[in-house]
Amino acid sequence: MDFLKINGAFGEGGGQIIRSALTISCITKQPVHIENIRKNRKIQGLKPQHLTAIKILKKISDSIVIGDKIGSTELKFIPGDIKSSKIFEDVGTAGSIPLILQVLIPIVAISQKKLEINIRGGTDVLWSPTMNFTQHILKEVYSRMGINFSLEIKKRGYYPKGGGEINLVVNPSKIKSIFLTKRNTNQANITCTFSNISHEKIENEINKIKEKLIENNFVVKSKIQEQESRDSGASILVSSIDENSIIGIDGLFNKNTQKFDLDLEEFLENQFSVDKNLADMIIVPASLAKGKTRFQVKKITKHLETNLFVTSKISGCKYGVGKVLDGFEIIIEGISYASIK
């Protein structure tokens, strides 16, 4: 078996390499051997959400996996043919559902198959996009790239109890490149969901954020929704979307400080086309699309650097990074993968 070796310690050295490598491997049918998994983390090796993603891939593709156990720092993945499926999966912890979806959605959609899945686990947890980011920001950019999915959040799941539940439907899709330039809207949307916390407390914090946005000449709309959950928690998304940009910044409610951990300045200062987190999520589908995808970012993060490295190594796509005023332009020339019908 001819495996392509991937050094899991490259760049951000975390779970991003695993997610990207498995996604590209499944679509291109290139077996991969990932070493040094999460070597740059305090607790090394595979975590429950990684294993859940792998478990689902085995179910929907009959892939062969060696090393799929908690704490494993080495993984061999031999992809099988993706098939349309209807399944249920439980992470068993507050492990991130949004990170699992980053693997599943592109694989199934680009492989021209359909997936209906119910997943239980963490919907809004640390070191992961919130479910609102997935539903509003990732869905927006994927839709523009031709990737079609629908998402229903049935129950929120916060750390440490988890227990969140979502329904996901991914449809066969034809992937295409996109071109995004700079933000040209002053409309900002606040989306907040909370569970088992005082409505008054949440509303007061939202009003402070709203005031700051208005001070910076944004027209603000807000939506606050209480939802069922096993544990107390709250998440917030501040977003702006127009024809040339898709920008979102999210955060969780900190029970110690009684405030949202949200870098609002990052949102206020971003005049480019995507936020730093969305930037690395675009790379995988862009590498497989026909034509050139272009977008601008304020800075090159380790996650973005990692995804450019992994996707180009496995898919063979070409990319370039150019300097623009106060930021960077990313260009990815997709391979328009021939075996995808």
Distance of CA 170 to the CA centre of its chain: 15
Residue with the bigger pLDDT between 10 and 155: it is 155
> Is residue 242 in a domain?
yes
Q: What is the CATH number of the domain that holds 288?
A: 3.30.1370
- 339 pLDDT band, cuts 50/70/90, is very low
Same domain, 11 and 73: yes
Question: 159 Cβ partners below 8 Å, 6+ apart?
Answer: 94, 122, 125, 126, 231, 233
Final residue of a structural domain among 81, 114, 133: 81
- 337 pLDDT band, cuts 50/70/90, is low
> Is residue 314 in a domain?
yes
Residue with the bigger pLDDT between 269 and 15: it is 269
Q: What is the mean pLDDT of residues 7-19?
A: 87
> Is residue 198 in a domain?
yes
Same domain, 244 and 307: no
Count up the domains in the chain and report the number: 3
pTM: 0.94
> Is residue 129 in a domain?
no
> What is the C-alpha separation between 234 and 221, in angstroms, rounded?
18
Q: What is the mean pLDDT of residues 17-31?
A: 93
Same domain, 194 and 265: yes
> Is residue 29 in a domain?
yes
**Count of residues in the chain:** 341
pLDDT at site 62: 87
Nearest partner of 340 among 315, 320, 309, judged by Cα: 315
pLDDT at site 49: 86
pLDDT above 90 (res 203): yes
- How does the average pLDDT of the chain come out, rounded? 94
pLDDT tens by residue, 37-77: 988 788 899 988 899 999 999 999 989 999 999 999 999 99
Residue with the bigger pLDDT between 15 and 254: it is 254
- 310 pLDDT band, cuts 50/70/90, is very high
Same domain, 193 and 250: yes
pLDDT tens by residue, 218-260: 999 999 999 999 999 999 999 999 999 999 999 999 999 999 9
Q: What is the mean pLDDT of residues 305-310?
A: 92
Final residue of a structural domain among 40, 60, 81: 81
Active site residues: 303
Nearest partner of 122 among 16, 252, 237, judged by Cα: 252
> Is residue 88 in a domain?
no
> Is residue 153 in a domain?
no
What residues make up the domain containing 242? Answer: 187-269
Same domain, 220 and 292: no
> Is residue 144 in a domain?
no
Final residue of a structural domain among 45, 64, 81: 81
pLDDT above 50 (res 106): yes
